[in-house]
Amino acid sequence: MRTAAASLVTLLAAGMPCAAQAQTPTCTGSPTAVGAQTVLAIEGGGAAVRARMNINIDGSPRAYNKANAAGGALIHLCNAGRVYLPDGSSYEGSESNATCTGRFMDDVKRIGEAGWKDPSVGVVQWYGILGRGEAEIAGRTVRNVEPVEVKDAPGFYVSPTTLADPDFAEDDPQRYPDPMLVPGGVMPSRAALKALGVKVGGFGVAIDTAREDGAAVPFIINDTGPRIGEGSVALARLVAGKEIKAEITRAERYAGQVDKTTVLWVFFGGDALAPPYDAERVRTAARDAFDAWGGETRLKTCMAATAPLAPVSPPQ
């Protein structure tokens, strides 16, 4: 392999103009509002921002169970739905701890016993678990109201991701990338981000800039959410310098979570990966995409470029 110096000598000998010699990858761009976050819109496509590392367990067949922790679930059901009541009011199941373990579970029990679609009792719109069907309540159409259980695992609910392999049925966990083994990142479904070429099935890289031993971890964009700053269990563990595990306990579910905005997230523009989404194939493709994007050298320029980002108001 030729060294950079040898390549430069070759170009000079050939009489190439100076502009052609400037091949060092950069992370230049302009601050752009993506919802409530300000990201660096990278010239040529992609985006970078410093944010937290919250844990997204969607895609795991063990994520949700009707009996919650007692049934072996990793996440409480209240994180997966919104309740709509006959009087026209509604609330998020996770709006508070008291709501989560009390009011929400009481309403879910009543609504489930009534068949999930009775407008005189209420309905639940499921978004963290797979829901089917719709119901009319208080003049509103609510979709995804009947929770779907995992095939051959009664009690556990299907937890889908936006990225899915259509060769498998909706209620088959193999349809969705395994969050324990596949490093995955969440992107907001915002026009500003999509305009930069960022898409589900594309790739990115994350690194905790506060860690002296921080490692750059390439990932696939496997889901959508309200903001940048969520990663799969595998991504969070790798960014924190931990080994990934096929099975985790409830005590381990949030290992690698970072509550400060020290994680640099870079989303590349480019093509989406076609299925299948088995762990080894995805990790290899993500690493190749990172290298093609510019690798560690370009990532260092993004660290410098995102440090002073000032807030930008979203367009009215």
Domain layout of the chain by residue ranges: 25-57+175-306, 64-159
Please give the pLDDT value at position 151: 85
Please give the pLDDT value at position 314: 63
CA distance linking residue 135 with residue 241, whole number of Å: 46
Please give the pLDDT value at position 154: 85
CA distance linking residue 62 with residue 178, whole number of Å: 11
Task: Write out the two tokens for 191.
Answer: 């026009």
Please give the pLDDT value at position 15: 36
Top-tier CATH class for 25-57+175-306 = mainly beta
CA distance linking residue 78 with residue 72, whole number of Å: 15
| 200 closest CA partner among 293, 278, 267 | 267
Pair type for strands 184-188 and 217-225 = parallel
Pair type for strands 258-267 and 203-208 = antiparallel
**Model pTM score:** 0.88
CA distance linking residue 261 with residue 254, whole number of Å: 16
pLDDT means per 10 residues, the chain with 316 residues, are 35 35 75 94 96 96 96 96 98 96 98 98 96 97 97 92 96 96 96 96 98 95 96 98 95 96 96 96 98 96 86 64
CB neighbour list of residue 315: distance below 8 Å, 6 or more residues apart: 33
